[in-house]
Structure 1
Amino acid sequence: MPKNREVDVVTIGESMVLFQPMSEKGIKYEALFTKTLGGAESNLAIGLTRMGKKVRWISKVGKDPFGDFILSTLAGEGVDVSHALKCEHSPTALYYKDLKGFGDPMVYYYRKNSAASKLHPSDIQDEWLLGAKHLHVTGITPALGEHTAAAIRQAMERAREKGMTISFDPNLRRKLWSEEEARETLLSLIPLCDVFLPGIEEAEFLLGKLDIKAYGEKFLEMGPSVVALKLGAEGSMGFVKDDTVLAAPYTVSQVVDTVGAGDAFAAGFLSVFLERYQQEKNEITSEHLLNALERANILGALATQFKGDWEGIPTLEELNALVNGLGNITR
């Protein structure tokens, strides 16, 4: 895939090889595992690509078969990986997911000293952002290594200098850093984004216990133009200056795996938001905000119907058929 093609979105962050037990016995007793990949930014990249957007994913992977697997899988999904870096002396990260049939799965990370944890401000290149309209980052990458927070900050600052819009999902991972460091770092990055995408638990972690609408108001005061607050089974709420929009949840009968649902939500939201925002010259109406939240709710809910972090995200054609009540011809 040629470098420097025009893309709608650039995202920077670690992907890991994901192993899951084939049965419901759990890691302790299972002998057979499936192999796929997972990572907030790559989940979003796949989701946006399936929504018809052009996405460039950037990270460091190890110079090992796991890194090759990640790059080939993402490229096979249509994601531009031409700027990904290979690290000679650090491995690709792994993680294991333990599904027990009740509650959220337990996740075990093996990502300390991984290739992506070595991301440094000196790695950030202007050509990563060349031909791009939007940058998406999460709060996971800043937690990975000694210099990763500074690297993400620099990427956001460069994107802002180039006139790009920026979205930021805090994607809190308590296993990766202390609560004090997490809160301080995440709050410091909010003023650099245009779109902030927290969950209700993350909002409470960052600001304490508040009324739901107060979260939106407080985050808007920090600098973003739009706040999309995920409310889980209650749907989502969007905030812009002088307006608040509530989007009803998309109801599913069961939940198989919640990991990746927030990334699918972000992909759904951005796939609508970016079109409308650019058309309206950096403004968004309440109607467009509602449309973005509704698609986000659908993609987030559908992502919970499958094992794996991104496999349940539909294509745009499949989504439109679902929304319009059109069944697929299967035989």
Structure 2
Amino acid sequence: MASSAQSPAQNPPKSLDLIAIGRSSVDLYGQQVGGRLEDMASFAKYLGGSPTNTAAGGARLGLRTGLVTRVGADHMGRFIREALEREGVDVTGVVSDPDRLTALVLLGIRDRENFPLIFYRENCADMALDVGDLDPDWLRGAAAVLINGTHLSQPQAFAASMTAARLVKESGGRVVFDIDYRPVLWGLTGRDRGEDRFVAHGGVTSRLREALPLCDLIVGTEEEIHILGGVTDTLAALRAIRALTDAVIVAKRGAAGCAAFPGAIPAALTDGIVVPGFPVEVFNVLGAGDAFMAGFLRGWLRDEPLERCCTWGNACGAIVVSRHGCAPAMPTWPELEWLLSQSNPPHRLRDSAELEHIHWATTRTHRYDELTVLAVDHRSQFEDLVAELGADPERIPVFKTLALRAVEAVADGDDRFGLLLDGRYGFEALASAADDPYWIGRPIEEPKSRPLVFESSADVATELAEWPLNHVVKCLVFYHPDDPADLRERQERQLLRLFDACRKTRHEMLAEVILPADLPVDAMTVARAVRRLYAVGIKPDWWKLEPVADPLAWRNIEAAVLDNDPYCRGVVLLGLSAPEEELLASFQAAAPFGIVKGFAVGRTIFYDAARGWLANRLDDDEVVAMMAGKLKTLVDAWRQARAASGGGAGA
């Protein structure tokens, strides 16, 4: 029987908690639920593959994770790499294969028990992983390695998995084995039976058992325990495994929770360390086991008691079975804490607005301590200008590409910069910005509408479904908390529709609130408007608000935001065509408040340049230089104001 690894307390410090090795694919999830895969019409694209899901899930729970895999040198391979980087997974071990395509999986949700899937894995990149892809020094820096049963089905991948396990083991780390049995990937079923979980096969059992002498932890469903043990009686299978290894064995039992066996196998499953599951409605079981592994390892790799490891694993699995997708459904640590704090959690977890907001807010990528934006999303203003000057409207899109050049001239790749661009006249600029790191916002409202009208189809979600995911949906509303009730409620219903559509299409939302000029304003007005919109259920990722000179107004605004959504990304100041000196003065008032991240200013920067260019008094380079100069002046002024105020310590 193999001996366990030395206690982690005796190991030298490690740079990573966990390196996973094996499958990495793009999951294409059917967006229609309750029918055949044949009848699904659209698919959502997610990160996928069992060890990849666990690496991402572990990172969300605070583990330092890495991944060893191959992806194609193609668009989907770049998607996987970028998604892993956004999750904080170390991609040192992700190899781009120029000869093979990235693996794909098509999945569907038919009912609560049937989840059809098709693996597109013929000669795919990840199954070509071999020993030459391994970085021994990097692997030795891991406290544990996770190997995966599927990757033991191919000789090259088997050798790579075993070599990685030995390298980690020899350096004082631990080896985790996810049995992960998919009969179709061993050639034991038809390709249309990807959802099948068990086919007895002596050859598979023998191959999987070759990993056991290296293992410190083995995790699998009861069916997976059966294939590893070689018999379909769970206790007998556990005993057969125990005869070959003294690793901790964890049997996942679905809704019943799990049972852990750190030593001898008892007379009954209930005599192990049994931890019940969470009584939640099952929406989608796919990915739940990977989430269980991430939660369990969050505890096990930090030497928590096995009971707690099991509880965390069960909780993570319960959250994921309530959601669409695998990797994107993985919970973060705040979500796990929330579920564990509930004495009576809701049966339908996905109906919990609080949990879903925590999930949304804590899985957004990139933190913005500063954001400075050139706003050229104006439409009616440009139309008025070309009409006044007798200019050709076809020149408006060209000017907006010059605005992008102006941002690039100042930003030079700095992702603290951004643009607001519209789809009507700014489409070319939006497309050109697709490869840039800049924040991109895009308006959805009909210009000057009050009550709010959307510039789109009757179903705003249908419009947003056509927008790239990195486009932030900006909505300007002329709104006052003391508007007539019918007007106020009509606008709130529109904003609530938009907020719901943004969440369902996975777009961030920026709410721009401008107070109508004919209504009274005091130090509480904007804060009351913000609180009112939160009260009806709208939690935008960003606010865009008018600059105010009164520090009390900013204190009230900051309190209104933080009281209702401590996860809010923050506020950016709008310009309202204010002269430059007025804007600079407003920066001084806003800078001490951490909730304010910067500005999104338009006409103050671009209007004179646009007028001169459309009148043919300025050429392209002059316009770019003019806008870049004004943008830089505002950026420098904002940063100086922020530094002088103490850096927004109230954030």
TM more than 0.5: yes
What is the distance in 2 between the residues matched to 1:217 and 1:276? 25
Alignment equivalent of 1:295, drawn from 297, 303, 312: 312
What is the match of residue 168 of structure 2? 159
The residue type equivalent to 2:18 in the other structure is: V
What is the distance in 2 between the residues matched to 1:206 and 1:130? 27
For structure 1, the residue ranges without an aligned partner over 5 or more in a row are 278-287
The residue type equivalent to 2:106 in the other structure is: Y
The residue type equivalent to 1:209 in the other structure is: T
| Correspondences of 1:128-147 after superposition (within 5 Å) | 128-143=138-153, 145-147=154-156
How many residues are treated as equivalent by the alignment?
Answer: 314
| Correspondences of 1:14-29 after superposition (within 5 Å) | 14-24=23-33, 25-29=35-39
Give 1:64 shift: 0.3
What is the distance in 2 between the residues matched to 1:237 and 1:171? 17
Alignment equivalent of 1:39, drawn from 49, 69, 92: 49
Helix, strand or coil for the counterpart of 1:23?
A: strand
What is the match of residue 325 of structure 2? 308
| Correspondences of 1:270-285 after superposition (within 5 Å) | 270-276=297-303
Helix, strand or coil for the counterpart of 1:28?
A: helix
Q: Which structure has more RCO (C-alpha within 8 Å, separation ≥ 6)? A: 1
Contact 1:18 1:36 in 2 (8 A): yes
* TM-score normalised by the chain length of structure 2: 0.46
Q: Structure 1 residues 97-106 or 301-310, which shifts more?
A: 97-106
Helix, strand or coil for the counterpart of 1:22?
A: strand
What is the match of residue 245 of structure 1? 273
What is the match of residue 223 of structure 1? 245
For structure 2, the residue ranges without an aligned partner over 5 or more in a row are 1-13, 189-200, 267-271, 344-351, 358-533, 535-651
Tell me if 1:105 matches 2:104: no
The RMSD of aligned alpha carbons is: 2.1
- Greater helix percent: which structure? 2
Kindly provide the CA deviation profile for residues 224-263 of structure 1, in whole angstroms up to 9, marking residues without a partner as x.
Answer: 43111111222111111258311111110x2111111111
Kindly provide the CA deviation profile for residues 273-294 of structure 1, in whole angstroms up to 9, marking residues without a partner as x.
Answer: 11117xxxxxxxxxx1111111
Helix, strand or coil for the counterpart of 1:18?
A: strand
What is the distance in 1 between the residues matched to 2:297 and 2:205? 25
Alignment equivalent of 1:149, drawn from 146, 158, 181: 158
Q: Structure 1 residues 179-188 or 291-300, which shifts more?
A: 179-188
Give 1:96 shift: 0.2
Give 1:200 shift: 0.8
Tell me if 1:258 matches 2:285: yes
- Given the superposition, is the C-alpha separation of residues 27 and 234 from structure 1 closer, same or farther in structure 2, using an over 3 Å criterion? closer
What is the distance in 1 between the residues matched to 2:325 and 2:220? 22
Alignment equivalent of 1:202, drawn from 204, 219, 224: 224
What is the distance in 2 between the residues matched to 1:128 and 1:111? 28
Q: Structure 1 residues 183-192 or 319-328, which shifts more?
A: 319-328
Tell me if 1:269 matches 2:291: no
What is the distance in 1 between the residues matched to 2:234 and 2:120? 37
The residue type equivalent to 2:37 in the other structure is: I
What is the distance in 1 between the residues matched to 2:204 and 2:171? 28
| Correspondences of 1:36-115 after superposition (within 5 Å) | 36-115=46-125
Helix, strand or coil for the counterpart of 1:256?
A: coil
Contact 1:183 1:205 in 2 (8 A): yes
Larger radius of gyration: 2
Give 1:151 shift: 1.5
What is the match of residue 182 of structure 1? 204
Helix, strand or coil for the counterpart of 1:81?
A: strand
- Given the superposition, is the C-alpha separation of residues 71 and 194 from structure 1 closer, same or farther in structure 2, using an over 3 Å criterion? same
The residue type equivalent to 1:201 in the other structure is: E
Tell me if 1:122 matches 2:145: no
What is the distance in 1 between the residues matched to 2:79 and 2:335? 27
Helix, strand or coil for the counterpart of 2:78?
A: helix
What is the distance in 2 between the residues matched to 1:173 and 1:148? 16
- Given the superposition, is the C-alpha separation of residues 30 and 229 from structure 1 closer, same or farther in structure 2, using an over 3 Å criterion? closer
Helix, strand or coil for the counterpart of 1:275?
A: coil
What is the distance in 1 between the residues matched to 2:279 and 2:205? 32
Give 1:181 shift: 3.0
Contact 1:138 1:168 in 2 (8 A): yes
- Given the superposition, is the C-alpha separation of residues 322 and 29 from structure 1 closer, same or farther in structure 2, using an over 3 Å criterion? closer
Kindly provide the CA deviation profile for residues 160-215 of structure 1, in whole angstroms up to 9, marking residues without a partner as x.
Answer: 11111110011001001143332111111122110010211111223313353x54
What is the match of residue 584 of structure 2? none
Helix, strand or coil for the counterpart of 2:143?
A: strand
What is the distance in 1 between the residues matched to 2:329 and 2:133? 33
Alignment equivalent of 1:169, drawn from 157, 168, 178: 178
* TM-score normalised by the chain length of structure 1: 0.89
Helix, strand or coil for the counterpart of 2:132?
A: helix
What is the distance in 1 between the residues matched to 2:234 and 2:81? 43
Give 1:108 shift: 0.2
The residue type equivalent to 1:232 in the other structure is: G
